[in-house]
Structure 1
Amino acid sequence: MLDQKAHKPHERLAAHLSEDLAAVDDMIRTRMVSEHAPRIPEVTAHLVEAGGKRLRPMLTLATARLCGYEGEKHVILATAIEFIHTATLLHDDVVDESAQRRGRPTANLLWDNKSSVLVGDYLLARAFQLMTDTESLRILAVLSNASATITEGEVLQLTAAQDLGTTEEIYFKVVRGKTAALFSAATEAAGILAGVSEDQIKALYDYGDALGIAFQVVDDLLDFWGGEETGKNIGDDFRDRKLTLPLIKAISASDDDEMAFWKRTLEKNQQTEGDLDTALEIMNRHGALEETRQAALGWANTAKDALAILPEDPIRDMLSDIADYVVERIN
Structure 2
Amino acid sequence: MESTVITDNKISMQAIISDFKQLTKVGLSLSVVFSSVAGYLLAIDVVNYFTLLLLAIGGFFMVGASNAFNQIIEKDTDLIMKRTQNRPLPTGRMSVNVALTIAILFTIFGLSILYSINAKTALFGAISIFLYTSVYTPLKSVTPLSVFVGAIPGAIPFMLGWVAATNQFGMEAGFLFMIQFFWQFPHFWAIGWLQHEEYQKAGFNMLPMGQKNKGAVKQIIFYTVIMILVSISPVLKLSGAFYIHPITAVIVALLGIYMLYFGVKLHKSEDNIDARKLMLSSVLYITVVQIVYVVDKFLH
Q: Structure 2 CA distance, aligned partners of 1:119 and 1:299? A: 38
Do residues 219 (structure 1) and 191 (structure 2) align?
Answer: yes
Normalized against structure 1, the TM-score is what?
A: 0.58
Gaps spanning 5+ residues in structure 2: where? Answer: 1-14, 263-276, 282-300
3-state SS of the aligned residue for 2:44? coil
1:205 aligns with 2:188: no
Candidates 116, 119, 139, aligned match of 2:121: 139
Q: What residue is the counterpart of 2:36 in the other structure?
A: 60
Q: State TM-score, norm by structure 2.
A: 0.63
Aligned CA-pair RMSD: 3.8
Given that 1:50 and 1:104 are in contact with CA atoms closer than 8 Å, whether structure 2 keeps it comes out as no
Do the aligned partners of 1:214 and 1:299 also contact (CA within 8 Å) in 2?
no
Cα distance change, pair 82–157 in 1 and its aligned pair in 2 (3 A): same
Could you tell me how far 1:130 is from its partner in structure 2?
A: 0.7
CA deviation profile, 1:91-125 (whole Å, cap 9, x unmatched):
22232223599889423232222211221111111
Please list, as runs of the form range in 1=range in 2, the aligned pairs for 1:1-331 lying within 5 A after superposition: 44-45=20-21, 47=23, 51-52=27-28, 54-69=30-45, 70-72=47-49, 73-97=51-75, 98=78, 105-108=86-89, 109=91, 110-134=93-117, 136-154=118-136, 156-157=138-139, 161-162=141-142, 166=143, 171-172=144-145, 174-178=146-150, 180-195=151-166, 198-224=170-196, 235-248=197-210, 250=211, 283-284=212-213, 287-305=214-232, 307-308=234-235, 309=239, 310-312=242-244, 329-330=277-278
Paired residues in the alignment total: 236
Alpha-carbon contact 1:183-1:211 (below 8 Å) kept: no
Q: Does structure 1 conserve the Cα–Cα contact (< 8 Å) formed by 2:65 and 2:104?
A: yes
Q: Report if the CA contact (8 A) 1:61-1:75 is conserved.
A: no
Alpha carbons of structure 1 residues 60 and 43: separation in structure 2 relative to 1, 3 Å: same
Structure richer in helix, relative to its length: 2
Hey, what's the Cα distance between the residues in 2 that align with 1:120 and 1:321?
40
Structure 1, unmatched stretches of 5+, are 1-38, 225-234, 251-282
Q: Is the 8 A contact 1:76 1:131 kept in 2?
A: yes
